[in-house]
Structure 1
Amino acid sequence: MPEGQFQLALIVGSVREGRFAPVIANWFLGQVERRGDVVVDVIDLADLTDHGMPRDGGGFTERIGAADAYVVIVPEYNHGYPGPLKTAIDTVRVEWRAKPVGFVTYGGVSGGLRAAEQLRQVFAELHAVTVRETVSFHQARTRFDSEGEPVEPGAVELAAKVLLDQLAWWAFTLRAGRDARPYGG
């Protein structure tokens, strides 16, 4: 990885037919691509799973291991996060350790925030560090125009910048820490 850059895995956590995840993911990818310090790998679970189980040929574990940081694009389904996302997370173990995780959530009234709160507990158990800031879209389908752009871009673009700034700090800091002293968790 070139100096001054970190590897970000952008994980699209919904596999449902008719999902809104690609709209959110494409918008956030645009935010990431504005930066010069990020190399991004988009991991869409819909491309890597059969009925929620990661396919062997997808290289999921290796791609998670190669990343310095993660952003999970996650909807809220029934006050929680999708089952296939949990399955994918659980198929990997040590690759998550001592790395930061951020969330871009969407859903109805809560905007997916309940899913993020549950995922914070899961990632804590895996020794990952979740960042405080979250980008959230309440009533997500009403927040984007027909071109996939937010109808009110100012606040969400600022939230994305703050999230990415925090991830960058953690990614660089934790990578230096892992290089200096392997994490023993």
Structure 2
Amino acid sequence: MSPEAFMCNENDANGNAIKCGRPSDIWSLGCILYQMVYGRTPFSEYKTFWAKFKVITDPNHEITYGPVYNPWLLDLMKKCLAWDRNGRWRIPQLLQHPFLVPPVPAQLSSSKDQSCKLLQLIAETCANDSEASMLCCQLQELLSDPVQPIASQLLTSREQQCKSLSQMSKLCFQLRERLAKSERKIEDLGM
């Protein structure tokens, strides 16, 4: 239970009623992460209810964190287990935390740049073919920022990933067909 959950019927220093809510849920998330990382709860060394109550409600008590392989994971747990509910991170902040949103590898970024350059080159060589140019533009839009769709639309489910890949595949197929058609026209004209 979060510190404020023990004090739900009390008032804070400003006279406001202490309410349980999402900050309390974030505390619970921190406890779950702690349990997953260390194999025990943050207050497992305190055996009685009253001992746990005393340390959880003590704003000066510091939770003990052992070493972890990823410093961002440790930081995330600390953000979730901040004693002051107003200092505890909110859901939108947590969703942007580096542990939950890892950086895009440089290799992915450079391959994305190469794909966009290739599409730009194709679009330039097909300047007289409005349909091919339009298909190139649509593909460039999909590839322009691969992180943005993931962050904004949460492309995490297989269904969403498949839908996005299907859309790209469809555009690539249409572009290939359009380029092949243009090539046949050029051959027919004897150029």
The normalised TM-score by structure 1 is 0.27
Higher relative contact order (CA 8 A, sep 6+): 1
* Structure ranking higher in helix proportion: 2
* Structure ranking higher in strand proportion: 1
